[in-house]
Amino acid sequence: MGTRAAFWIGDPRDKKNRQWLGCVAWDGYPEGLPELTEKIPATEKEFKEVVKEIKKEREDFADPKKGGWPFPWADDIFLTDYTYAFFHDKVYVTVYHRGFVPLEEFLGWSDAKKRKYRKMRDDPTLENVSIDGQWDRRQPDSIIILQARKEEGGS
């Protein structure tokens, strides 16, 4: 399975003031996004430019202009592995429902601290935050649904 990531301007919990920039279905962890992590954007404009660069380079980019939310959890956007958002004048990251941390701080953590963070209690303010609209199966994703089929005459 892929490691998915979503990109936002504004706090994604604030439905009236957020802007969804897109998602990737693969390698959404920080090491998989060197465009974002090697030089962390300092402004909203820089963050948007980095997301545009990611969009150009990747086939797994789900573009809001081309459809709706790419994942089947439209009622809880923070089920996405990593969420990156630019608000309060910096880039923040959260892993699932663990709570936002400035990306620069997160990148400086040891592997042990990152493991501890992933085991933290969920931040209840990140639960059940929905996307505007529905899941769009036409958008790129890494979910594969398999169904076993019984052969005729077989057991």
String of DSSP letters for 11-78: -TT-TTT-EEEEEESS--SGGG-HHHHSS---SHHHHHHHHHHHHHH-TTEEPGGG-SBSSS-TT-GG
pLDDT at 155: 54
Angstrom CA distances, 117 to 38, 100, 110, 122, stand at 22, 11, 11, 10
Beta-bridge mates of residue 94: 83
pTM, 2 dp: 0.88
Residue 14 predicted with pLDDT over 90: yes
- Return the amino acid letter for 122: D
pLDDT at 5: 97
Residue 145 predicted with pLDDT over 70: no
Residue 56 predicted with pLDDT over 70: yes
pLDDT level of residue 67 (50, 70, 90 thresholds):
confident
Residue 71 predicted with pLDDT over 60: yes
Q: How far apart are CA 2 and CA 77, in angstroms?
A: 16
Q: Give the pair of three-digit tokens for residue 42.
A: 């300092």
Q: Give the pair of three-digit tokens for residue 3.
A: 């490691």
pLDDT at 140: 76
What helix, strand, coil percent values describe the chain, rounded to 5? 30, 20, 55
pLDDT at 149: 72
Convert the pLDDT of each residue in 80-138 to its tens digit. Answer: 999 999 999 999 999 999 999 999 999 999 999 999 998 899 999 999 999 988 887 77
Convert the pLDDT of each residue in 32-42 to its tens digit. Answer: 999 999 999 99
